Amino acid sequence: MSEVYTDQMNQMAGISLPEKIKMLVQWAPAIALLTAITAAKPGRDRVTAVMALLQWAASQTDIKMDDQIVALMTKTLLTSEGGALVDYLHSLFIGLAEQQKYAERHRPSCS
């Protein structure tokens, strides 16, 4: 595991169960939207799911700049090139996840 992952897990260990539940409830929409991205069909469906996640993230702050950035990104992602970019990034993430699973399955054991 990476040092960043280990640090994050150590920080989570120090958080009380009620606080962990509160964080889960707070981030549940993002988790659902990420799931929708992975389940969406390539093209407009996936772009729409990405836009929904971006809009949710921007809505979590009172800063107007992120809303404006999301509006511009939405216009960009709705182009054919933007859709191709979303599909390409999706394939990269899936590929990285598969590589990680492979590495974990084939990690040498220290007995």
Condensed to tens digits (0 to 9), the pLDDT of residues 9-34 reads: 888 888 899 998 998 999 999 999 99
Tell me the residue type at 67.
D
pTM: 0.70
- 95 falls within a domain: yes
Buried b / exposed e along 81-103 (16+ C-beta atoms within 10 A): ebbeebbeebeeeeeeeeeeeee
| pLDDT digit string, tens, across residues 43-97 | 889 999 999 999 999 999 999 999 999 999 989 998 999 999 999 999 998 888 8
101 within a domain of the structure (yes/no): yes
State how many domains the chain has. 1
Q: Within a domain: residue 21?
A: no
In a domain, 53, yes or no: yes
Whether residue 3 is contained in a domain is answered as no
Please report which residue ranges of the chain form alpha helices under DSSP H. 3-13, 17-39, 44-59, 64-77, 80-105
Residue 1 has what DSSP assignment?
Answer: -
Could you tell me the residue range of the domain that residue 78 belongs to?
A: 26-105
